[in-house]
Amino acid sequence: MGLPQLISALRKIVGDDAVLDRPEDLMLYEYDAGIRKSTPGVVVFPQTAQHVSQVMRVASDAGIPVVARGAGTGLSAGAISHAGGIVIAFSRMNRVLEVDAGNLRAVVQPGVVNIQLSEYVSHLGLYYAPDPSSQKACTIGGNVAENSGGPHTLLHGVTVNHVTGVEVVLPSGEIVQFGGKAAESYGYDLTGFFVGSEGTIGIATAITVKLLRKPESVATLLAIFESVDDAACTVSEITAEGITPAALEMLDGWTLRTVEEFCHAGYPLDAGAVLLIELEGLREAVEEEAVAVKQVCLRQKAREVRRAKDEEERALLWKGRKTAFAALGRVSPAYYTQDGVVPRSKIPTVLQHIGEVAKQQDLIIGNVFHAGDGNLHPLILFDSRHPDQLERVMAASRDILQYCIDAGGSITGEHGVGLEKLDAMPLLFTEDDISIMTDLRNVFNGDELLNPGKLLPTPRMCREIAGRSRNAVLAQEGL
Amino acid sequence: MSTTTTPARFVRELRDMCGAEHVIEDPAQLHEGRIAGVAPAVAVEPASADEVAAVLRFANEHGLNVVPAGGFTHQQTGNKPAQVDVLLSTRRLTEVEHYDPGDLTVGVGAGCTVAQLTSMVAKDGLLFAADVAQPQRATLGGALATGMTGPLRHGYGGLRDYCIGIRFVTADGRKGKGGGRVVKNVAGYDMMKLLIGSWGTLAIVTSASFKLFPAPRQTRTFIARFPSSGEALHFRDAVLRSPLSPICLELISPEAGSLLPAIVRQESSSRTEPSEAAPGRDTEACWCVLLRASGSDAVLVRFRSELGSAVPREITDEDERRLWCAIQDFPHTLPEQRPDCVLMSLWLPLTEARTALDGLLSLAKSTGLTLVAIGRVGVGHLLAGLCPTEDSPADLAALSAFRDRLPRDASMRVLYCPEELRAACFRTPTDLASMRAIKHALDPKDILNRGRFVF
């Protein structure tokens, strides 16, 4: 099947106005929020699971790779198309299918924007907890694919801790259900396995998520430190106090000055670093913890600890944090974001190391990150017009990741592997680890029709595909 | 026999792999390790993941049926195996791989018992939250394989929420891992989720890493009593709507109360209401909701004021500890005291707990059985036992009918039933064909727990 036939087959499924194939339209779908690009052959906008299923069958017949795409805010090229491939864009599957307040669940289509779900259920006193910084744009489907985090995942967990069921279209076109509204389900936890599989197993078409009750009380503190080191040492001291904040974020001095000029959040311009600490829960508990956290910060040489007086001040402090990446766009033509993780007691040393790497490579590296769970986001600034800079950026990046791994950490805490960290996977996983994961992918996606070349590096040795595919099992058992 | 290898030969090979003293052939010891009455032909106790891999490669090559075993606390769940060629004990896999209290993480071997891990971290003021039954015997490998937790499931989540890394050996002897030692990690597939609750059918877990929590500094348990399950669940709903966040929220049926310390059945204690100093006023026919709170004095005062007169009783210290230990051990105590019972575990959407309990009560009534139930009803988990009374043996046909009437999103597993009633009472909303294909990918020759579970 050639591209024109494919496009006409897709138009028959979803309608003429739901397929894009003009070069100027396709250009809009060639990138995500990272630094890679690749132009798809066609973009299709399904409206139902049946549409997705039919598109998968057509793609399978034509042997053309498919990638699902939400808002394109990913940072690891997870939603970047195979050149000439099919992009299934979910902007027309953006309905909240059901709010089941009694069961504290919602069932949503993958194209629902993260923050819109919380807004949608706000009148019930409920919200959806995972809150990536891109939550005003990113979709729940994309969050599920990447197992996204966010500042408030310190207390509440990442996306996988909030998804109890998924309806999935497999590469075969079959529509299957994993899990449901119950908190857990007997049988293999395929829901949990699916979340974070980066679109390499199937495409979610309906997602059952937990809704949480809004906390009675929230305290947002800004602790101001003279040095990055003092702030970094405070992080594990807070948890040692027996307190688990809802969020515990850090911005270094360079980043907070850049952010402050952009959004006037009220950050001190002369500080070495700040911690943004949020506590939530029962009023009495929050008040006690706020006092305790302030004492810990002051003991760790904080210059000052401010507390947001009202919702407006709180929103402003968070605006600074959540728009940090955007603010950097004003001072640098490009930046590369890292996502390494270290045990939280290693934060002081890893930050020192990042400082040394910046000096060695003559680069500016800002740090704004989820300190509470050790998830770093060094932002390495560069100008892509100077190829040597990009080389130094990549060298710095490899150095930092290796440091994270040596410290007992990981290459990615929430952005995913995608294409971007494929090379780093063997630093973390053995050939057997990867071959087991590849066997599991092949159960569903043996022909790599879905998101080929992502997440799992191709093993050096050419291994025979072990195990039968799901469909072969079905055929044998006459199901 | 599913094997062409003579036992003598494979025993010799196993001795080479694990050392002669760790290959058990003594019939009396093997009898101790029988599963649904079937004694294993041989038992091995590998000391490392490499030794586990060697045993599995060998077993895979010869098509031997391997049963992984920890503390034998849930080994009687599932179908009766046709034969057990090799019982693989994780007893010697007890190494602490990493532990830094400041990181609130720990990694230990699968053979470490839950009690060992719990007391190790308790010394540093930390909590390992999987309060499974019989923690002195239950191993972490077993807890992961069964996916079991206990009353703390309400406040701290399940193993799927705080197991952050896992090492395992697949049936064909490949050593694999997922996750790592850090609390946030999305590199590679989430192997933890796949293996937790897989009942030893995909791989043998050799070690795992967990997130820990700061241990509560003080707790109180509030006991509320109701004449019916409906009213008890109504109270649960009110608690869930309130700003309170207890660490446990447990429903106790009247008959389950009789398996617990007497304190749960007494209307009031001398401590809170000195005027009613005569304890022992048992009111057996009550449904209880137990709510365990942690926090400062001010937080506990707030709990009291929110709960008001609905909760006349509270207990603490030794009484409280003993009560929760008894609840934690319920999945063990019930079958021990009533070997003729059927014990099932159900996961339900919150609102369906009511439907399920009504269904169970009417099933019990129509078949003359007694319902003995407890549950983490705030998260939709019920443990329900059906005990025969005189002349009414447990009726599995009625049980399957109940299972088939459960709502779409519910799932269920029979944890225990008498041997003569052994049946695969199982239900899941998840696509079975996908499960079977995954089983085949990691265990193509079906050597792990062959025939014991439907997937």
Whether residue A186 is predicted with pLDDT greater than 70 in this model: the reply is: yes
Structure tokens at A214: 């809004």
**Of residues B453 and B171, more confidently modeled:** B171
**At a CB cut-off of 8 Å and minimum separation 6, what does B379 contact?**
A183, B153, B154, B350
Instruction: Give all strands (DSSP E) within A4-132, no chain letters.
Output: 19-20, 42-44, 66-69, 86-89, 96-100, 105-108, 126-127
What is the pTM for the complete model shown?
0.95
Evaluate whether A143 touches A125 at the Cβ level (below 8 Å).
Answer: no
Give residue A463's pLDDT: 43
| A183 touches B at CB < 8 Å | yes
Give residue B419's pLDDT: 80
pLDDT single digits (tens) B19-48: 999 999 999 999 999 998 999 999 999 999
Whether residue A410 is predicted with pLDDT greater than 80 in this model: the reply is: yes
State whether B189 and A473 contact (CB < 8 Å). no
Region B74-98: what's the mean pLDDT?
95
- Alpha-carbon gap: B318 to the closest alpha carbon of chain A (Å): 23
Whether residue B274 is predicted with pLDDT greater than 90 in this model: the reply is: no
Q: Give the residue on A whose Cα is nearest the Cα of B178.
A: A433
- Cα(first)–Cα(last) distance of chain A, in Å? 30
Evaluate whether A139 touches A245 at the Cβ level (below 8 Å).
Answer: no
Whether residue B272 is predicted with pLDDT greater than 70 in this model: the reply is: no
Give residue A334's pLDDT: 87
d(CA A93, CA A87): 14
User: How does residue B277 score in pLDDT terms, banded at 50, 70 and 90?
Assistant: very low
Give residue B266's pLDDT: 74
Task: Encode A385-454 in three state secondary structure.
Answer: CCHHHHHHHHHHHHHHHHHHHHCCCECCCCCCCCCCCHHHHHHHCCHHHHHHHHHHHHHHHCCCCECCCC
Whether residue A413 is predicted with pLDDT greater than 80 in this model: the reply is: yes
B194: nearest Cα among A78, A437, A455, A438 = A437
β-strand pairing of B86-89 with B66-69 = parallel
Whether residue A404 is predicted with pLDDT greater than 90 in this model: the reply is: yes
Whether residue A174 is predicted with pLDDT greater than 50 in this model: the reply is: yes
Whether residue B271 is predicted with pLDDT greater than 60 in this model: the reply is: no
Give the nearest partner residue to B431 out of A178, A196, A343, using CB atoms.
Answer: A178
- Cα(first)–Cα(last) distance of chain B, in Å? 22
Cβ atoms within 10 Å of B85's Cβ, excluding its own = 23
Give residue A461's pLDDT: 42
d(CA A3, CA A12): 14
A431-445 vs B432-442: helix axis angle to the nearest 10? Answer: 150
d(CA A77, CA B420): 56
Give residue B267's pLDDT: 66
Give residue A30's pLDDT: 95
B178, HSE (Cβ side, Cα atoms, 13 Å): 27
Whether residue A83 is predicted with pLDDT greater than 60 in this model: the reply is: yes
d(CA A308, CA A276): 11
| A269 touches B at CB < 8 Å | no
Percent residues over pLDDT 70 in chain B: 93
CA Rg value for chain A: 23
State whether B187 and A158 contact (CB < 8 Å). no
Q: Give the residue on B whose Cα is nearest the Cα of A340.
A: B185
d(CA B172, CA B156): 35
Q: Which positions in chain B touch A439 (Cβ < 8 Å)?
A: 441-442
Mean pLDDT of chain B: 91
Give residue A2's pLDDT: 83
Strand order in the sheet with B411-416: B313-315, B219-226, B287-294, B248-252, B369-376, B381-388, B342-347, B411-416, B426-427
pLDDT single digits (tens) B413-445: 999 988 877 766 889 999 999 999 999 999 999
pLDDT single digits (tens) B345-389: 999 999 999 999 999 999 999 888 999 999 999 999 999 999 998
| Amino acid found at A6 | L
d(CA A218, CA A49): 39
| Amino acid found at A264 | H
Give the nearest partner residue to A240 out of B102, B160, B243, using CB atoms.
Answer: B102
- Alpha-carbon gap: A385 to the closest alpha carbon of chain B (Å): 31
| B445 touches A at CB < 8 Å | no
**At a CB cut-off of 8 Å and minimum separation 6, what does B417 contact?**
B341, B342, B343, B394, B396, B423, B425
Burial of residue B436, with CB atoms counted within 10 A of its CB: 0-12 exposed, 13-18 middle, 19 or more buried: buried
| A291 touches B at CB < 8 Å | no
Give residue A460's pLDDT: 52
| A435 touches B at CB < 8 Å | yes
| B296 touches A at CB < 8 Å | yes
Whether residue A98 is predicted with pLDDT greater than 50 in this model: the reply is: yes
Region B68-85: what's the mean pLDDT?
93
- Alpha-carbon gap: B96 to the closest alpha carbon of chain A (Å): 15
How far is CA B347 from its chain centroid?
12
State whether A341 and B185 contact (CB < 8 Å). yes
| A220 touches B at CB < 8 Å | no
Within 409-428 of B, beta carbons closer than 8 Å to A belong to 409-413, 426-428
Longest CA span, chain B: 76
Whether residue A233 is predicted with pLDDT greater than 80 in this model: the reply is: yes
A354: nearest Cα among A412, A312, A309, A393 = A393
Mean pLDDT of chain A: 93
Give the nearest partner residue to A193 out of B189, B214, B428, using CB atoms.
Answer: B189
Evaluate whether B259 touches B326 at the Cβ level (below 8 Å).
Answer: yes
d(CA A12, CA A58): 11
Region A311-331: what's the mean pLDDT?
88
**Of residues A458 and A415, more confidently modeled:** A415
State whether A411 and B187 contact (CB < 8 Å). yes
d(CA A168, CA A52): 10
| B273 touches A at CB < 8 Å | no
Structure tokens at A370: 């989820």
Question: What stretches of B270-407 show up as alpha helix (H) in DSSP?
Answer: 297-307, 317-328, 330-337, 352-367, 396-405
d(CA B151, CA B132): 8
Backbone φ and ψ for A301, nearest 5 degrees, come out as 70, 30
Give the nearest partner residue to B190 out of A103, A192, A285, using CB atoms.
Answer: A192
Cβ atoms within 10 Å of A111's Cβ, excluding its own = 23
Q: Which positions in chain B touch A300 (Cβ < 8 Å)?
A: none
Give the nearest partner residue to A187 out of B349, B408, B428, using CB atoms.
Answer: B428
pLDDT single digits (tens) A277-312: 999 999 999 999 999 999 999 999 999 999 999 999
| B147 touches A at CB < 8 Å | yes
Evaluate whether B114 touches B138 at the Cβ level (below 8 Å).
Answer: yes
DSSP conformational letter for A322: H
Strand order in the sheet with A334-337: A302-307, A217-225, A273-281, A247-252, A365-369, A378-382, A334-337
pLDDT single digits (tens) B163-218: 999 999 999 999 999 999 999 999 999 999 999 999 999 999 999 999 999 999 99
State the ipTM, two decimals.
0.95
| A180 touches B at CB < 8 Å | yes
